[in-house]
Chain A
Amino acid sequence: MVDSTWWHLLFGNLSAGALPFYSPIATGAAALVVAGAIGVVLLLNWFGGWKWLWTEWLTSVDHKKIGIVFVAIALVMFSRAVIEAIMMRLQQAMGFDSPGYLPPDHFSQLFTTHGTIMVFFMAMPFLTGLINYVMPLQIGTRDLSFPVMNSVSLALTAAGAALMMVSLDLGKFSTGGWSGYPPYTELSYNPGVGPDYWIWAVTLSSISSTMTGINFAVTIYKKRCPGMHFLRMPLFTWTALATSIMMIFAMPPLTVATLLLACDRYLGMHFFTNSGAGNMMNFVNLFWLFGHPEVYILILPPFGVYSELFSTFSAKRLYGYLSLVYATAAIAFISFMVWVHHYFTMGQSADINAVFGIATVAVGVPTGVKIYDWMLTMYRGRVRFSVPMLWSLAFAITFVIGGLTGVLLATPPVDYVVHNTLFLVAHFHNMIIPGTLFGMLAGYHFWFPKATGFRLHEGWGRFIVFCFVIGFYLAFFPLYAMGLEGMPRRTQEYYDPAYYPWAIVAMVGAGFIFLGLLGLLTQLVVSILNRDKLACHIGDPWNGRSLEWSVSAPPPEYNFAVLPRVEGRDSFTAAKAVDIAYRRPTRYEAIEMPKNSAVGPLIAFASFSCAFGLVWHIWWMASGGFVMAWLVVIARSFVRDTRKVISATEVERIEKRWLREVALTRPVSRDDEFTCANKGLAETTE
């Protein structure tokens, strides 16, 4: 028999009880995770891919590769969180006057992981990945300002996502919602590992995002190509700048909130406890100081995507560029002034509520300006109903409806009635799904050909749009009714028959969304299998307007053989119009690029170990991971050989091969945009 103190020293609080055998569903989910991991290992073994994975992906500091991995993590975590949502919809469809199939504890874990994953491990990595990939290309530079730090950001997000997945196999996750309010999440009500899993996963994500924000902001400030003044940047880059500044300033409150909660749980402090003069309202305030700017971090990059899409697929200059820039800045600015609307009912005076309510309503104005600008971009344009455009149109209509319900919620007396009912749940999904999700999926479809060299299958794309749009309306509009009729959020069982028919309709909607998810996977597989037919190596399948479309698909490692010089906005369109788009440069020069680095994967390992050790109180693992991470940073500072040179001959070889292909390719008009004649070269007679 193992002496229990030795066990505790080695394994902390881990024991057989941590294994997920408390319910068949939990066992099934855990088995899926293990099977998935084993499957990946087997695949890598079969294809002899370990070295390739290490040298081409894990140690790469190339913003393009890092961006792709961020998006891949987002899509995997998205799949999990959608399934969790469907499980909850099913429970609510069955939970009228019946316990359903999910006990309350499990249901609570589901809404917690669903929210935590969707915000921190789906939306944030997705937008980080898109900005990472596209922004440097749009501003005409070769990489971010701090490529190794970029790799570390990825490492921390990956570690957090891994922690979320491990929580399916060992122990239970928090049941306190994605906002983790104490005192419920304090030791006295939740002595288990759940809230600790939440704290450390979120902390890893927030540190990652702070670093990303710094990286993006400095890059945009310092590395724009000659001629790229601020007011010549594409809108996607503008929104990337605003987003990165918001990340830098919004993550600190979250870090403070989660770390102070950790102090309570680990060191017996009294920040938010019921006893010892703790003040739980401090947590709520701190969390939403982060939480509100966070949702604008989630929406601004999609707004940037939509700006690109509306102008590209209307073949027209963006209407009101300056107003869009000001609107972006206004939204970013105001987003720091409205956070109290998340807790109107907490007890502060009507005066305070009024101030924040008015500020909240005000943020609708710049958003409205954007919508009008986009509509006016389409007006008198030659609109093409590509999949990204379909996403954009669905967004414009659906998002505005959600915005209207936001104005309702911004009114404190109304909010007192519907706060924390399904009305609220419907509202925020009505912003995030058409806003963030559609925007990310549209951006994915739009820039996929740039990253891989072949387009995504358009027919399957339309199927996905159809499923998600129908699914969204069916799944969430009933929730408005249920909320107005008084049904609280996060309810596992209910007894009021008025809610029941709506719950059924919502379940059908969830079914459509699930079909959409399957469609997404199918589209990817079908596109890969047909990549030769869908190929567009020249790099400009959509007759794009900004610099990322001016290089091959996929771009060379160094992005541009010669850094571009721009004279105005929509510089690639301007170049195509005067036929200087694919000119051979007078000479090729050697290009210096950063070398690969093992810092990223090492920090992923160290930070995961630290977090896992903290969750299970395995102190040697926690401290070891922490020390290892810092030692890696210090060791890295002693490495002097961090750059490699791509010779001028090599650059010339790569460029000449591409330019030869350009010369041999027939340009296509927009009528042939979705045929296999589209090799990525656009006819330039506009």
Chain B
Amino acid sequence: MPVDRTARKDELRDYVLGLVSALVLTGIPFALVAWTRLPVNALLWTIAACGALQVIAHLRFFLHINLSKQKRDDLHLILFTIMIVLLMAGGTLWILFNLHARMM
């Protein structure tokens, strides 16, 4: 069926794009760390940026998450989870580093 074939091609294209973009976004930070002598800060920011972009690439190409078409239930869930993670992980880091500074 023609509909199936174009849909299948689109999905295949998504997976291939996902693989390629992820490989690139993996290769860059690894290469920079292994083979260059860039300042620590620049490296750390690059690693973080590539990581964040790769997560988005995964979400988009492998998990087919498309923010514009998301149903309300899922948006609730994702937003709430992000809030919880920021509060809990962020709060933990803030408090524990504060304690470390005051006690060590």
Contact = CB atoms under 8 A, between A and B. Distances in A.
Interface of A: 221, 245, 249, 253, 279, 281-282, 285-286, 289, 336-337, 339-340, 346-349, 352
Contacts of A279: 96
B94 interface: yes
Nearest to B85: A249
Given A221-B73, A336-B87, A348 B98 contact: yes
The 10 closest A-B pairs by CB, nearest first: A249-B84, A348-B98, A348-B99, A336-B87, A349-B98, A348-B95, A289-B88, A221-B73, A281-B99, A347-B99
Given A285-B96, A336-B83, A346-B99, 7 more contacts: A249-B84, A337-B87, A339-B91, A340-B91, A347-B99, A348-B98, A352-B95
Most chain A CB atoms below 10 A, which of B80, B83, B88, B102 = B88
Nearest to B83: A336
A321 B90 CA distance: 35
Contact of B92 (A245, A285, A336): A285
B34 interface: no
A339 B90 CA distance: 13
Contacts of A281: 96, 99
Nearest to A337: B87
A348 B80 CA distance: 27
B67 interface: no
Contacts of A282: 92, 96
What bracket does the count of chain B residues touching chain A fall in?
A: 10 to 19
Contacts of B95: 285, 340, 348, 352
Contacts of B96: 279, 281-282, 285
Contacts of A285: 92, 95-96
A253 B95 CA distance: 16
Interface string B65-104: 0000000010000001101100110011011101100110
Given A249-B80, A289-B88, A352 B73 contact: no
Contacts, number: 39
Contacts of B92: 282, 285-286, 289
Interface of B: 73, 80-81, 83-84, 87-88, 91-92, 94-96, 98-99, 102-103
Contacts of A347: 99, 102-103
Chain B interface main SS type = helix
Contacts of A348: 95, 98-99, 102
A279 B97 CA distance: 12
A346 B73 CA distance: 39
Contact of B94 (A286, A346, A352): A352
22 contacts: A221-B73, A245-B80, A249-B80, A249-B81, A249-B84, A279-B96, A281-B96, A281-B99, A282-B92, A285-B92, A285-B96, A286-B92, A289-B91, A336-B84, A336-B88, A339-B91, A340-B91, A347-B99, A348-B99, A348-B102, A349-B102, A352-B94
A339 B92 CA distance: 11
Contacts of A337: 87
Contacts of B73: 221
B22 to A, nearest CB: 27
Contacts of A349: 98, 102
A373 to B, nearest CB: 25
Contacts of A352: 94-95, 98
A351 to B, nearest CB: 8
B64 to A, nearest CB: 21
Nearest to B102: A347
A242 to B, nearest CB: 11
A457 B99 CA distance: 56
Nearest to A293: B84
Contacts of B91: 289, 339-340
Most chain A CB atoms below 10 A, which of B80, B84, B94 = B84
Contacts of B80: 245, 249
A349 B88 CA distance: 18
A347 B83 CA distance: 26
A246 to B, nearest CB: 10
Nearest to A289: B88
A375 B88 CA distance: 36
Nearest to B84: A249
Contacts of A289: 88, 91-92
Nearest to B101: A349
B75 to A, nearest CB: 12
A286 B94 CA distance: 13
Nearest to B81: A249
B97 to A, nearest CB: 10
Nearest to A221: B73
Nearest to A253: B88
B33 to A, nearest CB: 26
A526 B96 CA distance: 56
Nearest to B97: A348
Contacts of B81: 249
A339 B87 CA distance: 11
A353 to B, nearest CB: 10
Nearest to A290: B88
B72 to A, nearest CB: 10
Nearest to B103: A347
A215 to B, nearest CB: 15
B25 to A, nearest CB: 28
B88 to A, nearest CB: 6
A218 B101 CA distance: 43
B80 to A, nearest CB: 7
Contacts of B102: 347-349
A347 B87 CA distance: 20
A245 B79 CA distance: 13
B44 to A, nearest CB: 23
B46 to A, nearest CB: 30
Contacts of A253: 88
Nearest to A343: B95
Contacts of B99: 281, 346-348
B21 to A, nearest CB: 31
